[in-house]
Amino acid sequence: MTKGLFFQAILKFVLGMVLVAALLFLPAGTIHYWNGWLFMGVLFIPMFLAGIVMMVRNPELLRKRLNAKEEQTEQQLVVKLSGLMFILGFVAEGLNFRFGWLILPGWAVGIAVAVFLLAYLMYAEVLRENTYLSRTVEVQENQKVIDTGLYGIVRHPMYSATLLLFLSMPLVLGSPVSFVIFLFYPVIIAKRIQNEEKVLEEGLQGYADYKKRVKYRMIPFVW
């Protein structure tokens, strides 16, 4: 671990909190938006703890995830569409609270929080199983096919985890309106997976055989 990596991680973490808070609370027109504070807690507290663990145990993985920049045109489009989805979704959540369009009851929000935290644990397990994980689509030096644990069930368990995370986000915030916007995520991520598998099959030895052994991409028995 280096001081540079530490300060880079802290800076991105703080900027991320400020950005999410602005996208939620400014449209809501108030800081008295309890779903917003709940979401900030369940999102950033585990993220902070995971960052500390990576910084201590696997700083190289943390560095790769902080400095990721897509080079492929197709993936750059996916990143832009994802960013647009988040902006529209968060702004709509704040507006939904301000004008009281459709607000979920507390018990439904509680279930969404449980799903969100479960997905976070799943994401952490994927990071533990696969040290080659990067935020960009690439084949790394000395990379090997991982086919155990969650990777023995689906080929892209990280995307399975993010699917649960992103679809539960608007429900934690109590906004069925924004849930409709986040339903675009499966379409966006399917495009990313299509390109990613092409890159891996061409550049990662054994990946074609792995695809034959593990049939499903994200959801067992579905896709």
Distance (Å, rounded) from C-alpha 25 to C-alpha 169?
15
Give a yes or no: residue 15 inside a domain: yes
Give a yes or no: residue 188 inside a domain: yes
The number of folded domains in the chain is 1
pTM: 0.89
Within its chain, how far is the Cα of 119 from the centroid? 9
Range of the domain at 90: 3-213
Q: Which of 184, 196, 162 is nearest to 80 (CA)?
A: 184
Give a yes or no: residue 195 inside a domain: yes
- Which pairs with CB-CB distance under 8 Å and at least 24 residues apart come from 20-25? 20/44, 20/90, 23/86, 23/87, 23/90, 23/91, 23/94, 24/90, 24/93, 24/94, 24/173, 25/94
Give a yes or no: residue 208 inside a domain: yes
Q: What is the CATH number of the domain that holds 186?
A: 1.20.120.1630
Give a yes or no: residue 219 inside a domain: no
| Residue 215, number of CB atoms within 10 A of its CB | 11
Residue type, 108: A
The tens place of each residue's pLDDT in the chain, 223 residues long, gives 577 888 888 899 999 999 999 999 999 999 999 999 999 999 999 999 888 888 887 787 777 777 666 666 667 788 889 999 999 999 999 999 999 999 999 999 999 999 999 999 999 899 888 877 766 666 666 788 888 999 999 999 999 999 999 999 999 999 999 999 999 999 999 988 988 898 888 888 899 999 999 999 999 989 8
Kindly tell me the sign of the dihedral angle through the C-alpha atoms of 118, 33, 179, 109: positive
Give a yes or no: residue 223 inside a domain: no
The single-letter DSSP state of residue 221 is T
